A and B are shown apart, each in its own frame.
Chain A
Amino acid sequence: MATNLFSWIKQNLFGQISCQRCIELLELITDGEASLEEEQQFRKHIDECLPCYETFNLEKSIKEMLQTKLEKKQVPDDLIQSIKKKIRNTA
């Protein structure tokens, strides 16, 4: 309870969040789902906390890796034509 009160005071009076709260916000931030206030609290925290900063970088780099390194399959040339043909036949 005392710890909770301490976190509450830090968060609400000084805008500081705990590492636990920071980790909770991590995915919301990387996914662009955090509110402006959450984003500000988060940025302030990782400016001062190296472990959380590193965890954030890892999370970001995994997301980037997925976006840039996975091979994109080429849509087969005949697929669109085949869909259109089927639609014409059923219409």
Chain B
Amino acid sequence: MPAEKLKQNYSSQEKEHIFEHEFLPHIDSMYNFAYRLTFDEDDAKDLVQETYLKAFRFLNSFQQGTNAKAWLFRILKNSFINDFRKKSKQPPKVDYQEVETFYNSDNVDVSMTTDLRVETVQHMIGDEVSNALNALAVDFRTVIILCDLEGFTYEEMSKILDIPIGTVRSRLHRARNLLKEKLQAYAKSMGYNK
């Protein structure tokens, strides 16, 4: 991606303009993403702040008019993995073995094992949905957030996560199957399904 390597030389006024009009409008999505990664309001706040400071520091590597949201999400996700998770006392919630098994294949498996029903899904309330999503390992949770909540394309996700599009698809597919399992288990425990 040669375009990304081109360094800009913005004046302080231009920097301020880009920051204000291209970066700050995404703060709502950024904060929600950070919160869904950290599960803590203060941590989410720190992570977003750190991301914006980095974005400002590296503003010359950003090309005005390109996809600022994807760029910011990429910085946030890298900050979370490289700096934040190390500092945090929480153990990482990723089951690496499970993750690796599925990342090594670009093929999307087409198994459908769920007997989850549309009506069950429609009756779920926010907390139930949230618990099911939060129970997923962070890498699986991330692809669902990026795709379903934030509406990023596979190509954008591939750039944000630094993985090939085939891996985006297989990870997403796996994440969705796991989410269905969680929803199904929840529905069963609540007696939603006979």
A residues sitting closer than 8 Å to B (CB atoms) are: 20, 23-24, 27, 31-33, 54-55, 57-59, 61-63, 65-67, 69-73, 75-76, 79-80, 82-83, 86-87, 90-91
B31 & A75 in contact (Cβ 8 Å cutoff): yes
Given contacts A58-B116, A82-B49, 16 further A-B contacts (CB under 8 A): A20-B110, A23-B112, A61-B118, A61-B121, A62-B179, A65-B124, A67-B148, A69-B129, A70-B130, A70-B149, A72-B32, A76-B41, A79-B45, A83-B49, A83-B53, A87-B52
Beyond A27-B176, A31-B154, A91-B12, is A67–B149 a contact (Cβ under 8 Å)? Answer: yes
B133 & A69 in contact (Cβ 8 Å cutoff): no
- Give a binary string over B67-104; 1 marks a CB under 8 Å from any A CB, 0 the rest: 00000000000000000000000000000000000000
Q: Is B147 an interface residue (CB 8 A)?
A: yes
B121 & A62 in contact (Cβ 8 Å cutoff): yes
Q: Which residue of B lies closest to A51 (CB)?
A: B112
Beyond A27-B173, A67-B149, A73-B31, is A62–B45 a contact (Cβ under 8 Å)? Answer: no
Beyond A66-B129, A73-B41, is A79–B122 a contact (Cβ under 8 Å)? Answer: no
- 29 A-B residue pairs with Cβ-Cβ distance under 8 Å, sorted by A, are A24-B108, A27-B108, A27-B176, A31-B153, A32-B153, A33-B154, A54-B118, A58-B117, A58-B118, A62-B121, A62-B179, A62-B180, A63-B148, A65-B122, A66-B148, A67-B148, A69-B126, A69-B129, A70-B129, A72-B28, A73-B41, A75-B28, A75-B31, A76-B31, A79-B27, A80-B24, A83-B52, A83-B53, A91-B12
Residues on A with C-beta less than 8 A from B121 are 58, 61-62, 65
Q: Which residue of A lies closest to B111 (CB)?
A: A23
Nearest CB on B from A91, distance (A): 7
Nearest CB on A from B132, distance (A): 10
Distance, CA A63 to CA B149, complexed state (A): 8
Residues on B with C-beta less than 8 A from A80 are 24, 27
A69 & B179 in contact (Cβ 8 Å cutoff): no
Nearest CB on B from A39, distance (A): 16
Distance, CA A38 to CA B32, complexed state (A): 34
